[in-house]
Amino acid sequence: MTLNSSPCGEHVLDVGSFRVVAAAYERRALGIASHWPFDQWGRFLPEHTTAVSLLDRLLHHANVVVTAGDSYRMREARAKGGTTLNKT
């Protein structure tokens, strides 16, 4: 899936992404990674109903893996002193 910037600075999933998910639903395996919780996916789609439909198809037979903490790359960068981002 691709994210495109909208004029107001928000990111919007393109319509093609929804079509890919809808076409693959119950036919193909999809792997999706996101740092956004599911309840915030409506921010990326122009209509709330589209977000709900997309998540419905993605999560129907899904194995969801939720992780917490810094990514491996972030930990490595901090250990080397390569980032000034604050841990949240």
Nearest Cα neighbor of 32 from 48, 50, 18 is: 18
Domains of the chain plus CATH, in order, are 3-79 (3.40.50.300)
Q: Which two tokens stand for residue 35?
A: 């740092």
Number of alpha carbons in the 13 Å side-chain half-sphere of residue 2: 7
pTM, two decimals, is: 0.56
Residue 15: predicted pLDDT: 64
Residue 2: predicted pLDDT: 45
d(CA 16, CA 1): 8
**β-pairing, 3-5 with 11-13?**
antiparallel
Q: Is the pLDDT of residue 29 over 60?
A: yes
Q: Is 5 helix (H, G, I), strand (E, B) or coil?
A: strand
